[in-house]
Amino acid sequence: MLPGKKFLESNTFSRENRTVIVADAISWLQEQKENKNIKEGSFLASMPDISEFPTWTLEEWKTWFINTAKLVMEVTPDEGVALFYQSDIKKDGIWIDKSFLIQKAAEEVGLNLLWHKVVCRLQPGYTSFGRPAYTHILAFSKNIRLLDHQKSTADVIPDLGDKTWERGMGLTTCLMLANFIKENTPSKTLYQLFCGEGAMLAMANEKGLNAVGVERTLKRAKKAFHLEVYYDKEKKKFAFKKDIYQKEEKGT
């Protein structure tokens, strides 16, 4: 469960079913590809947008984005799925469709699109400014095929669910993805790149999957390691265990 020997020598948090590696996700991925470390599992990535690369041109960022998506797909085992959670951006009056860029990468690598869903960031009918009101989720695989229509899920997810920070994944989305991996792949482990504060890792554990996260920022990595979720029977939805999260917020 601990691929990437070079990175285990640095800041790594590990317990029975969760590992969070403090590292640059691209460097970690390249090591996995070179050493063929990943034998089973599925991947989830949310690549940064151009705002995090202030010195780059739009074309430079697009090239990086496509190449990173290709790298994720190349490392994903043939019997696993490569998942992408991405929000489009608007740059200088131009709409940048990240799902299009990811599908360009898939064509080059030879992975097939299993589905393309959207998650509403705002209620339908409301106007958003700066960023679209929805987020893409795309699933790709080399060998997995979704032939059982009884396992189909909604293409439009109307609510993100609870999240710990503005750029975090909502628990409704996390639950859908964890269930999808469990029900449609032989994967025992979810690998999440740019894992942020760990909502997806926590949900993966809750649903019986091992979870490995890679996060460059130490503070977020520590939160990702400690974060836990539970099912709130009164509200009939998953929520964060606030005592654990708030304890980590205080650095104790």
Residue 9 has pLDDT above 70, yes or no: no
pLDDT in tens, 71-92: 999 999 999 999 999 999 988 8
Sign of the Cα pseudo-torsion (175, 177, 183, 186, in order) = negative
- CB count within 10 Å of CB 236 equals 7
Question: Collapsing DSSP states into helix, strand and coil, what is residue 136?
Answer: strand
What's residue 60's pLDDT? 97
Tokens 């697009």: give the residue.
62
- Count of C-beta atoms within a 10 Å radius of residue 29: 23
Mean per-residue pLDDT of the chain: 91
Statement: residue 245 has pLDDT above 60: no
Domains of the chain: 5-249 (3.40.50.150)
Q: Report pLDDT for 251.
A: 52
Q: What is the full DSSP assignment across 97-117?
A: -HHHHHHHHHHHHTPEEEEEE
The rounded percent of the chain whose pLDDT value lies above 70 is 92
pTM higher than 0.85 = yes
Tokens of 211: 């979870």
Look at residue 207 in the predicted model and tell me its pLDDT.
97
Q: How far is CA 232 from the centre of its chain?
A: 24
